[in-house]
Structures are given as C-alpha cells and as structure tokens.
C-alpha cells in the first residue's frame, strides 16, 4: 500500500531533530532485550549427560529425520552444558538513520563462533547432526511481541507530526 505525504513526514522528522532517532534507538534496544531473553530461554535447557543422550538413542542424529527424536518441543531448543554457547551470545542495535525519508534501524542477537566454535554446528548441523535453528526459531516465537513494541512506541510518535 503506497504511503501518501512521505515528504511532509520526512520534513517533520528532520525538523524534530535527533530526538526522533534517539527514541527509535531506545525502542530498538527494548526489542533487542526481548529477542535476547527468548534466545537465552531457548538455549538454557538442562543437559542430559553424554550417557543419557546415548540411552536416548542420540536424539539429534540425522538418521532420525529432519527433526531428530523430539525430546523437547520445539525441537531446535539447545541444552546448556559448559555455558560457552550462552556466553558467546551478544545483542545490540544499529543506530537509526534517515536517508531520503526512509528510516533505517535494527536490533540483533548473534552468537560469536570465536567464543563457541560449536555454535555454527548447532545452528546449521553437520553430516551426522540435525540443524537446530535456534535464532530464527526464537525470533519467530516473539515476533508478534516485538512488532507490538515497535508499533506501539513508534506509531504514537509519528502520528504527532503536523504538516505546516
């Protein structure tokens, strides 16, 4: 759906100044915290021992199909063992900017594979282990909540702009 009056909105954003982008940055930090909390929740399950995994028939083995043997739901949740994966998690935001009337801002949570080399094997799988898309799965769980925060906090601000 085309948006009408974008020139007026862009002029008002520029006139309003840096406070608008500061507010967007604050809202994006809030969204990154929501994402971070959900990912932490999904990667903090208690770990069965290696012996326990063997008794379960190695539930993450590819031979059991694309989702393995589901010992929890959703299948892509991750168990905490050493805590390296959890400590490799980083969150942040991309500062808001306005170019040609378009607002760009971002929030992210990522895993640093230099701190936890096995992160990529968990997310993408291996020739013997199923992939467990922890980040995308977690994002899908909270997307309505995150979009609600964006809609609530940014809609009110932009609706106050007045054409002059």
Residue ranges of the domains in the chain? 6-159
Instruction: Enter the pTM of the model.
Output: 0.76
- The predicted pLDDT at position 162 comes to 39
Output the DSSP codes for the chain.
Answer: -PPS-HHHHHHHHHHHTHHHHHHHHHHHHHHHHHHHHHHHHHT-EEPPPHHHHHHTT-TTBGGG-TT-S-SSSSTT--EESSSHHHHTEEEEEEEEEEETTEEEEEEEEEE-TTT-TTHHHHHH--SSB----HHHHHHHHHHHHHHHHHHHHHHHHHHT----
- The predicted pLDDT at position 128 comes to 93
Q: What is the pLDDT along the chain (164 residues), one digit of tens a residue?
A: 455 666 766 666 666 656 778 888 999 999 999 999 999 999 988 877 778 888 888 888 888 888 888 888 888 888 887 788 899 999 999 998 877 767 788 899 999 989 999 999 999 999 999 999 999 999 999 988 988 888 888 775 544 443 33
- The predicted pLDDT at position 41 comes to 94
């Amino acid at each position: 759906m085309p948006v009408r009056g974008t020139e007026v909105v862009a002029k008002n954003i520029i006139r309003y100044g840096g406070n608008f982008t500061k507010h967007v940055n604050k809202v994006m930090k809030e969204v990154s915290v929501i994402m971070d909390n959900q990912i932490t929740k999904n990667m903090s399950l208690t770990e069965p021992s290696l012996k326990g995994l063997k008794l379960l028939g190695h539930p993450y083995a590819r031979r059991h199909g694309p989702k393995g043997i589901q010992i929890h739901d959703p299948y892509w949740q991750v168990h905490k063992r050493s805590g390296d994966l959890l400590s490799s998690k980083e969150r942040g935001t991309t500062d808001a900017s306005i170019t040609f009337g378009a607002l760009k801002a971002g929030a992210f949570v990522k895993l640093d594979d230099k701190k936890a080399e096995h992160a990529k094997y968990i997310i993408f799988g291996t020739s013997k282990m199923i992939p467990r898309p922890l980040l995308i799965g977690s994002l899908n769980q909270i997307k309505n909540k995150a979009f609600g925060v964006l809609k609530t906090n940014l809609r009110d601000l932009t609706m106050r702009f007045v054409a002059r």
